[in-house]
Amino acid sequence: MIRLKNDKQIDGIRRSCKLLSAMYRELIPMVKPGLQTIEIDRWVYDWIKKAGGKPAFLGYGPRKNPYPASICVSINNEVIHGIPGKRKIREGDLVSLDCGIDLDGFISDQAVTVEAGKAAPELRALNKATAECLYKGIAAVKAGDRLLQIARAVSAHAKLGNYGVVRQFCGHGVGLELHEDPQVPNYPHGSNPRMVKGMVIAIEPMINLGTGDVEILEDGWTVVTGDDKPSAHWEHTVAIFEDHSEILTDPLD
Ligand code: MF3
Ligand code: CO
């Protein structure tokens, strides 16, 4: 069931999104070689709490194995859902950050991939192309059109660079819960509802230097590329109105 949001609810989701992007603007310059990923998580937890929100990812998921952190930190061949820990960021790493805030019951979701220090040209190109995929997808958002237009736009752009598109994980409805209907794939498959006024969706291309195949590690969370090649991930929360769409999160690129 797709939960459509009224203007008041969208105002609340927008506030949550602006807070999340403000957090990222402080965090991104700190993502440098030598930083331990658990330090990122602690900083994010404290920042969100101080700002009056709740980390939306912390404790999310199955009761047996809930996500244990406030932010996902996924490095190089890790695609999404990397769990912060002792690992230190190294020069040239591609560091994908994915975080959400619950502010007064309104949920935001945004991801960005940061290059730590000076990254190799092929990694920089992958990262740039992935951000472009996100904006191509957003440009395809239009009330009255079908949702898989987004997937077509994202995958067509990825194809230009010969990149792999992750098909096993998707974007999603968001706003009142972290993961709502509909699924928002980056590759055309599955249900194809019409986009309508009041929908709020997270669009999040996960683009690989190699193939789009992925695996999940023993921890039950970390998604890695099947061929160990690097991956990038960018995400915005987007609201659909009758005659326009609005990116509720702020640009970080
Ligand atoms: N933004 C992530 C996604 O949509 C949410 C991470 S799942 C969590 O896939 F458990 F870490 F919260
Ligand atoms: Co998401």
Q: What is the CATH number of the domain that holds 64?
A: 3.90.230.10
The pLDDT value given to residue 207: 99
Query: What are the pLDDT digits (tens) for 171-208?
Result: 999 999 999 999 999 999 999 999 999 999 999 999 99
Please state the atom number of ligand 1 nearest to the C-alpha of residue 204.
4
The torsion angles phi and psi of 188, rounded to 5 degrees, stand at -65, 105
d(CA 241, CA 14) in angstroms, rounded, equals: 13
* pLDDT over 70, % of the chain: 100
Confidence of residue 253 (pLDDT cuts 50, 70, 90): confident
Report helix, strand or coil for 106.
strand
Q: Is residue 252 part of a domain?
A: no
The number of beta carbons lying within 10 Å of the beta carbon of residue 210 is 16
Question: What DSSP element (H or E) covers 103?
Answer: strand 101-103
Is 219 inside a domain boundary?
yes
Is 28 inside any structural domain?
yes
Q: From the alpha carbon of 66, which atom of ligand 1 is closest?
A: 10
What's the domain range around 29? 7-247
| Mean of pLDDT values over 200-221 | 98
DSSP helix/strand/coil, 56: coil
Each residue of 134-151: b (16+ CB within 10 Å) or e?
Answer: bbbbbebbebeebbbbbb
| Residue written as token pair 């809930």 | 66
Number of structural domains found in the chain:
1
Could you tell me the distance, in angstroms and rounded to a whole number, from the CA of residue 221 to the centre of ligand 1? Answer: 10
* Ligand 1 binding pocket mutation candidate from 74, 178, 200 (most atoms within 8 A of CB): 178
3-state secondary structure of 237: strand
71 pLDDT band (50/70/90 cuts)?
very high
Give the Cα separation of 131 and 247 in Å (integer): 14
Mean pLDDT of the region 6-20? 99
Sequence length of the chain is 253
Which residues neighbour ligand 2 (ion) by CB within 5 Å? Answer: 109, 202, 204
- Give every CB contact of residue 218 below 8 A, 6+ residues apart in sequence: none
| Residue whose entry in the numeric block shows the structure tokens 């009761």 | 63
Structure confidence by residue, pLDDT tens digits, 49-63: 999 999 999 999 999
- Look over the chain and give the mean of its residue pLDDT values, rounded to a whole number: 98
In a domain? residue 1 = no
- Residue 231 falls inside a structural domain: yes
d(C-alpha 106, C-alpha 213), whole Å: 33
pLDDT digit string, tens, across residues 14-47? 999 999 999 999 999 999 999 999 999 999 999 9
Q: What pLDDT score does 236 carry?
A: 98
191 lies in some domain: yes
Token pair belonging to 193:
């509802």
